[in-house]
Structure 1
Amino acid sequence: MTHTHTGACFCGAVEIEVSGAPEAMGYCHCESCRSWSAGPVNAFTLWKPENVKVTKGKSFLATFIKTPTSERQFCTKCGGHVMTGHPTFGLTDVYAATIPSVEFKPGVHVNYAETVLPMRDGLPKLKDFPAELGGSGIAVAE
């Protein structure tokens, strides 16, 4: 049985659905994610793109591309952040807060070398990204 979860932007004009299980969950500490999320860290859930569907308000979904690795999508009515496509990784990050019925079970911290909020939780801390996603795969201390 495939599990399906729904979520929405801040105003509800854009709704999404994710199905199956996420490929990974964790925290990103990079400057771009911190700036975009207006927080000291970003909680992510990564999905195969075919498991993420916009079910309402696609016309209100806009994309901002700062780098080729991140296609950030947001609602044009409220500015609420919805998801980020990562074409070079073959994954879509649906922000953990966007899909509240998904039980968030983080497994890793990425870009921890850039952290402004040290988190001593015993999870692996990577300098940048896992090697299989093009990063160094180098672990750093908590």
Structure 2
Amino acid sequence: MTDEHTYKGSCFCGAVQLTVTGEPAAMGYCHCESCRHWSAGPVNAFTLWKPEAVQITQGADNVGTYNKSPNSYRKWCETCGGHVLTEHPGMGLTDVYAAVIPDFPFQPGVHVHYQETVLRIRDGLPKLKDVPEELGGSGESIAE
């Protein structure tokens, strides 16, 4: 018997459904220009998972992919256009957007790419210039 939690998520229309199992590697907010443009918002809430923890359970044949760079393979539902996840092969992680998994207890721990922010958030969480060192960034903190 396992005590790992499984959370369900879907695109906007529900044609693409997924599960995430266990605990994410990290949770937080991304302020980079790419995430802002992709999400059409000033900030994007992320949950990063090992790829094997993420399963598309319905509609895999309905998932579109776009990669502006080899760092991020963004995926969406081809029916409704709802964003589902982003694969980050270089980091060995998959970002399932926090809004896609509504019952998941999102507890952000960091802001990444805060130097690019267009919306200052004063919440006491660490603000990083890029990403943590263990994910290939500088890990450099910047002022809130």
TM bin, normalised by shorter chain, reads: over 0.9
Give aligned-pair identity as a percent: 66
Give the TM-score, by structure 1 length.
0.99
Encode CA deviations 1:9-61: one digit per residue, 9 max, x unaligned. Answer: 00100000000011110000000000000000000000000000000000100
Match of 2:63 in 1: 61
Stretches of 4+ moved more than 2 A in 1? none
Match of 2:34 in 1: 32
Match of 1:112 in 2: 114
CA distance in 1 between partners of 2:131 and 2:110 (Å): 10
Is 1:129 matched with 2:131? yes
Show the 5 A alignment for 1:79-94: 79-94=81-96
Encode CA deviations 1:34-93: one digit per residue, 9 max, x unaligned. Answer: 000000000000000000000000010011000111000000000000000000000000
* Structure 2 segments unaligned to the other structure (5+ residues): none
Given candidates 34, 52, 56, the residue that maps to 1:50 is 52
CA distance in 2 between partners of 1:122 and 1:104 (Å): 16
* Structure 1 segments unaligned to the other structure (5+ residues): none
| CA RMSD between the two structures | 0.5
CA distance in 2 between partners of 1:77 and 1:15 (Å): 13
CA distance in 2 between partners of 1:133 and 1:25 (Å): 13
How far apart are 1:132 and its partner, in Å? Answer: 1.3
Q: Secondary structure at the match of 2:35?
A: helix
How far apart are 1:136 and its partner, in Å? Answer: 1.0
Paired amino acid for 1:75: C
Paired amino acid for 1:130: P
Q: Secondary structure at the match of 1:10?
A: coil
Match of 1:11 in 2: 13
Is 1:23 matched with 2:28? no
Paired amino acid for 1:106: P
